[in-house]
């Protein structure tokens, strides 16, 4: 199981969310508190400056009024006003918050100032912001700004001065605000420290709380992974009877049920796997799009593929039918189709049947293809059809000839003794040909049905061959030479003499039919290990290479016209093949065009025989 990192775990996420929510609440409270505290502090300080400015403005107005009553001299008024400000100077020095006090007349001229700013007396004010107040203010008015040189935050108050209900000018008062902001910073710092401590405590509590919730979940995770690996023995511990405890109980119950269902499914899967593995038919399963998802061993063998290499490819491509069918065609296909997987070395015909698999809602979700090898069945069926056609043809030809000659005799040819004898000879020859054909067919039928017995005798095969060749030399009608390449000493084998005589007779008869005048037929016998090898060669036209493997097929003829003319049935070599194989040997043909043909066969040697070449 892949271990989940702490920062990706639900434990961390729970603590993080819990802490962030608490931090958000603290931030909202802190920001609100800080803003309210700042606003209240500034408002209180502003009100304090306004109250001080009102008192100073009133005192200044009284000083001006008294000076005018005593002596209505401008110089006396200003002196009196400065004396009044000087009396308040000690109080201003005690307060670091008051930075500047000025009395500005209605022309904008500074007529009085505190001792710290006495050098400004007699000058016009350079503060253009307060000029409208100099001319028209009727109540105290506050201003907030920063000094350009020092960057200090300052609050200024302009308060009108009245002398006997007449405006004299304004009292300009500046107060420092750095102390207020310093106090606010200190308070915010204390609040931040408290927030950090509260967050740490909250995180610790959150981890403890998260552990109580995530511990059962972690156990369920481990149990789920164990279930995925087939381990159903572990259980999730339940401590509390809350929702998580009930979930743990439900999970344990689900594990038990999954265990039972998995055991049943595994048993069925083993049965299905065993059935698929040992089926004689190939089985291929696909998904809805026709991609191969399953294949048994037999299908691999029949198609000559490996399942891990073709998994996911289209069944149309696998069966080489993409040009003739689509997946939708296979869904609707009710009849089987024949697949030709033949190669140069081997013939392979497969029959494929298709059926669809459906979901519970009836929707098609795949195809099941069942394939089986019908090569032998099709071959047998083809040979049966060819056999019937060949037998029909072989019987029809002599019967047609006989019918024609008999009709000719019936029409009057019987009266011509010479012609009648010729017709009767032909009819007799065709009759004998049909008898040979029927006898050969009966013999092949017995060989196919194993309705025969092999009676072996210990025989000197060299003397046996000499006797057969002598018989052919005595009865030959052609100018053909018989060449014998036989060992000097006898070689003994266990053979059925009658059947072996028929084998050699059939091979010699064929050789004589196809040998030219003056040609030779060679019989060669050699010993190869535990087998005796016999070769009978002629000097005829030979057999094309592509036809060599077919000469032992029933009714097969390389030159059909010449064979029928010479009276052959096309069954001699087929009978010879069956008889040689019945006696434990093998037979085959070798030929070169225009140079002759050799029929070769082997026989197992008698254990007590002569093993010399």
Report whether pLDDT(354) > 80.
yes
pLDDT reported for residue 533:
92
Task: Show which of 448, 479, 495 is a domain's final residue.
Answer: 448
User: Is there a single domain that holds both residue 461 and residue 405?
Assistant: no
Q: Report which of 297, 339, 345, 350 is spatially closest to residue 317, judged by C-alpha positions.
A: 339
Q: What is the pLDDT of residue 89?
A: 58
Q: Any idea what the CATH number is for the domain that residue 334 is in?
A: 3.30.450.20
- Structural domain for 405, as ranges: 379-448
Min mean pLDDT across 191-195, 263-267, 408-412, 569-573 is at: 569-573
CB 234 within 8 A of CB 223: yes
Report the C-alpha gap between 338 and 345 in whole angstroms. Answer: 20
Please provide residue 359's backbone torsions phi and psi, each rounded to the nearest 5 degrees.
-80, 180
Q: How many domains does the chain have?
A: 4
- Residue 534 is predicted with a pLDDT of 92
* Judgement on whether residues 497 and 573 belong to the same structural domain of the protein: yes
pLDDT of residue 611: 43
| Whether 314 and 405 share a structural domain | no
176 is a domain residue: yes
Looking at the fold, whether 161 and 41 belong to one and the same domain comes out as yes
Q: Please state, in angstroms and rounded to a whole number, the distance separating the CA atoms of residues 276 and 472.
A: 61
Q: How far apart are CA 545 and CA 590, in angstroms?
A: 9
* Complete DSSP assignment for 324-356: T--HHHHHH--S-EEEE---SS---EEEEEEEE
Q: Quick check: is 227 in a domain? A: no
Q: What percent of the chain has pLDDT over 70?
A: 82
Residue 253 in any domain: the answer is: no
Q: Are residues 421 and 470 in the same domain?
A: no
Band the pLDDT of 1: cuts 50, 70, 90: very low
* pLDDT class of 77 with cuts at 50, 70, 90: low
CATH code where residue 555 lies: 3.30.565.10
Q: Assess whether 34 and 172 both reside in one domain.
A: yes
In this structure, the number of other CB atoms found within 10 A of the CB of residue 132 comes to: 11
Question: Would you tell me how many other CB atoms lie within 10 Å of the CB of residue 222?
Answer: 13
Give me the pLDDT at residue 608, please.
44
Which of 310, 342, 373 is where one domain is finished? 373
Quick check: helix, strand or coil at residue 533? Answer: strand
Please tell me the predicted confidence (pLDDT) of residue 55.
Answer: 83
The pLDDT score that the predictor gives to residue 424 is 82
287-303: average pLDDT:
85
pLDDT tens sequence across 197-207 = 887 887 787 77
CA 332, CA 349: separation in Å to the nearest integer?
23
What confidence score (pLDDT) does residue 561 get? 44
> If residue 157 lies in a helix (H) or strand (E), which one and from where to where?
strand 153-163
Largest CA distance in the chain: 198
For residue 377, pLDDT over 80 is answered with no
Instruction: Say whether pLDDT at 142 is over 80.
Output: yes
Running DSSP on this structure, what letter comes out for residue 390?
H
**pLDDT in the model for residue 564:** 46
The pLDDT tens digits of the residues spanning 213-270 come to 777 777 777 777 777 777 777 777 766 676 777 777 887 888 888 888 888 888 887 8
**Band of residue 66 on the pLDDT scale cut at 50, 70, 90:** confident
Query: Is residue 519, in this structure, part of any structural domain at all?
Result: yes
| pLDDT value of residue 73 | 56
Same domain flag for 392 and 478: no
Q: Which of 136, 137, 138, 161 is nearest to 58 (CA)?
A: 161
The residue among 457, 551, 461 whose CA lies nearest residue 506 is 551
Q: Quick one: 27 and 162 in the same domain?
A: yes
Reported as a pLDDT band with limits 50, 70 and 90, residue 602 is very high
- In the three-class reduction of DSSP (H, G, I as helix; E, B as strand; rest coil), residue 394 is classed as helix
Residue 565 has a pLDDT of: 46
Least confident of 390-394, 457-461, 481-485: 390-394
**Structure confidence at residue 107 (pLDDT):** 80
Does the pLDDT value for residue 117 go beyond 50?
A: yes
Domain boundary among 424, 448, 472: 448
C-alpha count within 13 angstroms, C-beta hemisphere, residue 135 = 4
Name 88's Cβ contacts closer than 8 Å, sequence gap at least 6.
56, 59, 101, 114
Question: Looking at residue 85, what is its pLDDT?
Answer: 65
**349 and 414 assigned to the same domain:** no
Please report whether residue 115 resides in a domain: yes
- The CATH number given to whatever domain includes residue 411 is 1.10.287.130
Average pLDDT over all residues of the chain? 78
What confidence category does residue 612 fall into, taking pLDDT thresholds of 50, 70 and 90? very low
Tally of CA atoms within 13 A in the half-sphere of 117 that contains its CB: 22
Nearest to 579 by CA among 460, 523, 498: 498
Are both 351 and 424 inside the same structural domain?
no
Q: Is 191 part of any domain?
A: no
- The region of weakest confidence among 20-24, 286-290, 348-352 is 20-24
Average the pLDDT over 484-513 and give the result. 87
pLDDT over 50 (residue 566): no
Q: Which residues have a Cβ under 8 Å from the Cβ of 549 and sit 6 or more positions away?
A: none
Q: Which residues pair with 170 in a beta bridge?
A: 104, 160
Rounded-to-integer distance, Cα 579 and Cα 454, Å: 9
- Within this chain, do residues 91 and 131 fall inside the same structural domain, yes or no? yes
461 and 557 inside one domain: yes
Q: Which of 66-80, 274-288, 499-513 has the lowest mean pLDDT?
A: 66-80
Which residue is listed with tokens 């003499």? 497
503-506-507 Cα angle (round to 5):
85
Whether residue 260 lies inside any domain: the answer is: no
pLDDT at residue 317, rounded to an integer: 86
Burial class (CB in 10 A: 0-12, 13-18, 19+), 303: buried
pLDDT of res. 567: 47
What average pLDDT does range 583-608 have in this prediction? 83
CB atoms within 10 A of CB 216: 20
Q: Is residue 306 part of a domain?
A: yes
Q: Decide which of 392 and 356 is more confident.
A: 356
pLDDT value for 155: 87
The answer, yes or no, to whether residue 570 has pLDDT greater than 90, is no
| Highest-confidence segment of 114-128, 391-405, 591-605 | 591-605
**344: which 2 tokens?**
């140069």
């Amino acid at each position: 199981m892949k271990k989940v990192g702490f920062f990706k775990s639900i434990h961390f996420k729970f603590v993080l969310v819990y802490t962030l929510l608490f931090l958000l609440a603290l931030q909202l409270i802190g920001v609100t508190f800080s803003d309210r505290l700042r606003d209240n502090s500034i408002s209180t300080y502003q009100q304090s400056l306004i109250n001080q400015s009102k008192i100073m403005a009133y005192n200044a107005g009284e000083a001006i009024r008294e000076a005018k009553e005593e002596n209505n001299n401008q110089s006396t008024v200003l002196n009196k006003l400065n004396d009044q400000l000087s009396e308040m100077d000690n109080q201003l020095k005690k307060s670091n918050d008051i930075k500047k006090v000025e009395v500005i007349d209605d022309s904008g001229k500074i007529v009085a100032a505190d001792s710290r700013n006495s050098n400004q007396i007699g000058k016009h004010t350079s503060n253009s912001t307060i000029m409208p107040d100099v001319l028209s203010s009727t109540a105290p008015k506050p201003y907030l700004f920063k000094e350009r040189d020092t960057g200090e935050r300052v609050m200024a108050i302009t308060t009108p001065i009245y002398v006997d209900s007449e405006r004299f000018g304004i009292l300009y008062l500046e107060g420092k605000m750095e102390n207020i902001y310093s106090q606010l910073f200190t308070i915010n710092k204390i609040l931040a420290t408290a927030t950090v401590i509260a967050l740490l405590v909250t995180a610790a509590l959150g981890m403890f709380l998260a552990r109580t919730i995530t511990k059962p979940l972690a156990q369920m995770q481990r149990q789920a992974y164990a279930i995925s690996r087939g381990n159903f023995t572990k259980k999730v511990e339940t401590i509390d009877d809350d929702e998580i405890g009930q979930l743990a109980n439900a999970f344990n119950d689900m594990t038990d049920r999954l265990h039972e269902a998995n055991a049943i499914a595994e048993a069925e899967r083993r049965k299905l796997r065993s059935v698929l593995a040992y089926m004689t038919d190939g089985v291929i399963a696909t998904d809805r799009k026709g991609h191969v998802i399953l294949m048994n061993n037999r299908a691999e063998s029949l198609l000559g593929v490996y399942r891990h290499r073709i998994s996911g490819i289209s069944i149309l491509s696998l069966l080489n039918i993409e040009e003739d069918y689509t997946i939708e065609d296979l869904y609707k296909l009710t009849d089987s189709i024949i697949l030709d997987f033949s190669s140069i070395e081997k013939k392979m015909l497969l029959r494929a049947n298709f059926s669809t698999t459906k979901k519970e809602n009836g929707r098609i979700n795949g195809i099941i293809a069942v394939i089986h090898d019908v090569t032998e069945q099709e071959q047998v069926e083809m040979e049966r059809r060819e056999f019937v056609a060949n037998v029909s043809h072989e019987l029809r030809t002599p019967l047609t000839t006989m019918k024609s000659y008999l009709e000719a005799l019936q029409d009057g040819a019987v009266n011509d003794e010479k012609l009648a004898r010729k017709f009767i000879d032909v009819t007799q020859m065709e009759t004998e040909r049909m008898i040979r054909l029927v006898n050969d067919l009966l013999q092949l039928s017995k060989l196919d049905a194993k309705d025969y017995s092999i009676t072996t005798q210990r025989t000197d095969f060299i003397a046996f061959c000499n006797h057969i060749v002598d018989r052919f030399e005595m009865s030959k009608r052609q100018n053909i030479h018989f060449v014998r390449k036989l060992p000097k000493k006898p070689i003994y084998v266990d053979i059925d003499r009658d059947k072996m005589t028929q084998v050699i007779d059939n091979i010699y008869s064929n050789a004589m039919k196809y040998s030219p005048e003056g040609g030779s037929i060679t019989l060669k016998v050699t010993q190869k290990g535990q087998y005796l090898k016999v070769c009978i060669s002629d000097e005829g036209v030979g057999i094309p290479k592509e036809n060599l493997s077919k000469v032992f097929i029933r009714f097969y003829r390389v030159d059909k016209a010449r064979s029928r003319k010479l009276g052959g049935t096309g069954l001699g070599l087929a009978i010879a093949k069956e008889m040689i194989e019945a006696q434990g040997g093998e037979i085959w043909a070798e030929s070169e065009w225009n140079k002759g043909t050799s029929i070769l066969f082997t026989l197992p040697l008698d254990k007590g025989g002569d093993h010399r070449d």
